[in-house]
Chains A and B, each alone.
Chain A
């Protein structure tokens, strides 16, 4: 199977200057995101993962370089087109769930469709079937912020798939969940990639999820490194054995005291 490239990130860097301080969130580098595969971006806290995602999702114009989606330079188009890109091409999931508090689950899930200009009735129909797909159809008239973290994350998933967008971007979707609920959410991602050919871009620092990816981007102090397809399995093994070693040394230190 020939790989198709969906995103081309070319010589992109992102700096922030807050007053006198300058922070380089993403160092100049180039990566790509393959179409219909799961790409995982991983790295330690503060390394620039969210910053990279924000660039990909059209929310953050990079300081330099270009970001192409389907060979089109996203950041050269106007604000409305960027909004359209997000509403039409992306499903976005965050680590912490954000809701419009005054709206119930159904309206919250329907939001991306509203922004595409759907009528309320049509949007509700689609939102209901999205909720069914994550098995949350009985929650339609509850208020999302009152639900458990796992339930909220599934509803967030429904909101991300409601517009049937080709790309799903998720920033630490399992960050607030226990491993059981985390696994269930990850399963939803693999299902969607396998059954519907969605492109999935996932940020996580949970190394045990790395094996589900077909493409990896490691990021360390803002420096992006892509891991070739053939190297994924050995890299993951290496990373996991590093973790194993860390656990052993920590355990040994603990035992000495």
Chain B
């Protein structure tokens, strides 16, 4: 006769928990509101922090892939980025692409205007790893038939007052001067005419790009910089230490990203702290509701136990109530925070527009893990908050509960 019960169907306990919440509409609504504010403020602030981090990261490293390493030499007289060195770097197992760039200060002349610019000689590998964003025409390696192709950036066009209609420059002749004799005694200055093949938007100062052969044919034997593409972010460190063992210097956008991330880790913690204040409201509200619910229902619980409920089921009943509150409150809070952030973003864009900032920006970021994390976090908080009331529910003695009038 004394076999153990199967125990009550969890769905039914959930139903009873739900009914109880529904029967106390105002209280439940206020509690949900409190939870929504708590979790919503955390979600809002963190999505702001993450959005800001994205914007900053994009501003700083732009379109560079973070799977790249820039290699330079600390002293070009002792260690040169010549073909032998380049071969050794290219032979490292994790290196997928190797790009070479030759760049020197020089000047250019276009339709009778002249300006200083950095003159780059780049190869295909460098072009791939740098993601130059073309707005008109093509990149130098894709120029095909165009003889002596050159790419010019918007900043360079601005310096000669031609940025208003960039496409008009395409196909025009542009002459370059680079005083290479300053680089090495046995070199002559580069003086040559090119045809504008493309226009790019990247770069803060005036820059022009030609094929690397231009410099090699003049007898330049060492590149100014190498760009190394590696298999994945994880192998960056290893490849770097190998390259550095050749006596070279390395830099990677991953460094900058790491620095930005470190700063934002603190920043996000600070935001979390502000959100925590809202969370305290949520926790207190929820604890209050669950405790009142417990006191009000002492008799009901006594009744259920006397009708054959196990005490552990009564504990579960409260846990379910907390789960329902947490889940609905969290979803409500996240939806509310998303709507609010969209509104704030829209207003800021509007404001920025009137101040002459062009282009729209998206200040908030909502990665899926923030959504899932916020809900899981709230559930965890719910479990912690319900712990005490649930324990008390489990301990209710049906006789005492039913005797009390």
Contacts and interface: CB of A to CB of B under 8 A. Distances in A.
Interface of A: 54, 57, 59-60, 70, 72, 77, 79-81, 83-90, 92, 94, 96, 98-103, 107, 111-112, 114-120, 159
Given A59-B398, A83-B309, A98-B303, A120 B9 contact: yes
Contacts of A120: 9, 11-12, 15
Interface stretch (B18-26, B211-219, B351-359): B18-26
Contacts of B5: 80, 83-84, 87-88, 115-117
Given A54-B399, A79-B310, A120-B12, A100 B2 contact: no
Interface string B1-13: 1111111110110
B310 A112 contact: no
A100 B9 contact: no
A50 to B, nearest CB: 8
A222 to B, nearest CB: 16
Nearest to B300: A100
Contact of B308 (A87, A96, A101, A107): A87
A112 B307 contact: yes
A255 B310 CA distance: 57
A101 B311 CA distance: 19
B305 interface: yes
**6 shortest A-B CB distances, which residue pairs?**
A87-B308, A117-B6, A102-B23, A115-B308, A102-B19, A98-B303
Interface string B303-334: 11111111101000000000000000000000
A86 B302 CA distance: 13
Contacts of A119: 9
Contact of B399 (A59, A81, A87, A117): A59
Among B12, B300, B313, which residue has the most Cβ atoms of chain A within 10 A? B12
14 contacts: A72-B1, A79-B310, A81-B4, A84-B2, A92-B307, A96-B405, A98-B302, A99-B303, A102-B16, A102-B23, A103-B19, A107-B16, A116-B308, A159-B307
Contacts of A90: 308
Contacts of A54: 399
B100 interface: no
B4 A80 contact: yes
B321 to A, nearest CB: 11
Given A59-B399, A84-B3, A114-B12, 9 more contacts: A77-B2, A87-B5, A99-B303, A102-B19, A102-B22, A112-B307, A117-B8, A120-B9, A120-B12
Contact of A101 (B15, B300, B302): B300
Contacts of B300: 98-101
B240 interface: no
Contacts, number: 101
Nearest to B305: A83
A229 B9 CA distance: 44
Contacts of A117: 5-9
A114 B12 CA distance: 7
A221 B20 CA distance: 41
A100 B308 contact: no
Nearest to B308: A87
Nearest to B11: A120
A154 B297 CA distance: 23
Interface in B368-405: 398-399, 402, 405
B311 A79 contact: yes
A60 to B, nearest CB: 6
B299 interface: yes
A97 to B, nearest CB: 9
A111 B306 contact: no
Contacts of B19: 102-103, 107
B4 to A, nearest CB: 5
B24 to A, nearest CB: 8
A84 B308 contact: yes
A159 B304 CA distance: 12
A158 B124 CA distance: 86
Contacts of A57: 306
A111 B1 contact: no
A100 B1 contact: no
A4 B31 CA distance: 56
A116 B8 CA distance: 6
A92 B23 contact: no
